[in-house]
């Protein structure tokens, strides 16, 4: 009985894309959390484009994905930036492909934070203002 026919897929010699990404990240000594995040975003990008290989895609595909994250996904600006950096890493370091300018991306809005201002009475009640009854 020949066991090689039941051993699964035959290796082609070239590692799978996500294995190449992991290897590049580890070679550059990025943190495991960065690795996990980048793999997550690259995987989402691939599935967003119906499992097309990133080598077949162009800058417009990256723009479409990042805009989708901001508009439909309603992600924060920092989350969108993380996804963008993961894709830049994929194309520059792993695929060695220049995407050119990524233009027309709808950016996620940074939250508008109003400064918290307390009046003197509120500060005095909080215990951080020196007492006037010394």
Instruction: Report the CATH number at residue 46.
Output: 1.10.150.130
Residue 73 lies in a domain: yes
Q: Domain tally for the chain?
A: 1
Per-residue pLDDT, averaged over 102-130, amounts to 80
Residue 69 lies in a domain: yes
Residue 80 lies in a domain: yes
Q: What is the pLDDT of residue 70?
A: 96
Looking at every residue in the chain, the average pLDDT score rounds to 88
Read off the pLDDT of residues 2-43 as tens digits, 9 standing for 90 and up.
Answer: 444 455 555 567 789 999 999 999 999 999 999 999 999 999
Question: Residue 34: which domain range?
Answer: 15-94
Q: What is the pLDDT of residue 4?
A: 46
Read off the pLDDT of residues 87-98 as tens digits, 9 standing for 90 and up.
Answer: 999 999 999 999
Is the pLDDT assigned to residue 71 strictly greater than 70? yes
Q: What is the pLDDT of residue 20?
A: 97
Angle ∠(34,40,41) on CA atoms, nearest 5: 90
């Amino acid at each position: 009985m020949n066991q090689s026919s039941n051993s699964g897929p035959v290796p082609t010699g070239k590692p799978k894309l996500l294995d190449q990404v992991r290897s590049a990240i580890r070679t550059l000594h990025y943190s495991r959390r960065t690795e996990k995040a980048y793999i997550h975003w690259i995987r989402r990008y691939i599935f967003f484009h119906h499992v097309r290989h990133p080598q077949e895609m162009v800058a417009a595909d990256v723009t479409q994905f990042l805009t989708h994250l901001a508009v439909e996904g309603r992600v924060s600006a920092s989350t969108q930036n993380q996804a963008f950096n993961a894709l830049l890493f994929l194309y520059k370091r792993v695929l060695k492909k220049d995407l050119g300018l990524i233009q027309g991306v709808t950016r996620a809005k940074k939250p508008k934070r109003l400064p918290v201002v307390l009046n003197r009475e509120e500060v005095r009640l909080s215990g951080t203002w020196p007492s006037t009854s010394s």
